Amino acid sequence: MDDHVISTNKIPRLLGHENYIKWKVLFEAAVNYNDTELWASIKYGPYVPSDAPNANQVLERQMKRRDDKALSMLKLGLSWEILTSVNHHTNAKAMYDAVVEMFKGNVELRDIKKDILKQQLDCFKFKEGERLKFVLQWFIAIVNEIRTTDLQISNFELNKKLLSSMTGEWYTASKFIKEKVNFPNFNLDDVISFLQAAEHEIIKNNIIKEERPSFWYPML
């Protein structure tokens, strides 16, 4: 099979805000896999016919076909509702930029969202007796939202924040994790795995609540 034949059932489909980030990453990967120059048409701009008298007509036609193909692939990657909102754009870059703007919002709104998320992360804290799974749901939700923005917070900072937010009953487990030699290289999943492994012993020695934490906040 020709590597440049695009299978329409393998193009990720943008359905809405809930899958925008995943779609953006996978769509770029799908385009690049088929033809890196297709992605160049989307990212850097549409084909512009040359007005030079000695222009290479074969090359011109190839560039035009590539730009048309990139536009078609983008259309196939959008739900009908989204496509109807951007279908007036006649080249791939203009349509892609419109989709990105639609889901990322304007600069002011993005800055407000980052401020709110930073505040939520700063205010994050365990409460005595809360079940780990409920508190982690909140923390992971904040982190996932942060990762949809350009707010730069390293894994090391997130890990330190999580462990410093633990209550006294988690002191030994937190200290054990932070003192591991490779702790600076841990990702968040590593820290969560250690905490989950330690929870059984903590439950034996403490009365742990089963209900959702009282400080549960809906995300943006």
Q: Terminus-to-terminus CA distance in the chain, angstroms?
A: 44
pLDDT at 114: 87
Mean pLDDT score, 162-178: 90
The answer on pLDDT for 109 being more than 80 is no
pTM: 0.52
pLDDT for position 129 = 74
User: Any long-range contacts for 80-85 (C-beta under 8 Å, 24+ apart)?
Assistant: 82/14, 82/15, 82/16
Q: How far apart are CA 157 and CA 126, in angstroms?
A: 17
Q: How much is the pLDDT for 143?
A: 92
Helix-strand-coil split of the chain, %, nearest 5: 65, 0, 35
Please say if the pLDDT value at position 3 is more than 50. Answer: no
Instruction: Note the pLDDT tens digit of each residue in 24-59.
Output: 889 999 888 888 888 888 888 776 666 666 657 777
What value does the mean pLDDT take over residues 186-192? 92
pLDDT band, very low/low/confident/very high, at 75 (cuts 50, 70, 90): very high
The answer to whether the CB of 77 falls within 8 A of the CB of 57 is no
Q: What is the pLDDT of residue 55?
A: 59
Rounded Cα gap, residues 93 and 91, in angstroms: 6
Burial class (CB in 10 A: 0-12, 13-18, 19+), 78: buried
pLDDT at 80: 94
Confidence of residue 8 (pLDDT cuts 50, 70, 90): very low
The predicted pLDDT at position 51 comes to 65
Q: Residue length, the chain?
A: 220
Q: Give residue 216's pLDDT band: very low, low, confident or very high (50, 70, 90).
A: very low
Q: What is the mean pLDDT of residues 149-175?
A: 90
Spell out the domain ranges in the chain.
Answer: 8-104, 107-205
The whole-number pLDDT of residue 52 equals 62
Read off the pLDDT of each residue in 178-194 and give the average, rounded to a whole number.
91
Residue 84 confidence (pLDDT) above 90? yes
pLDDT at 79 over 90: yes
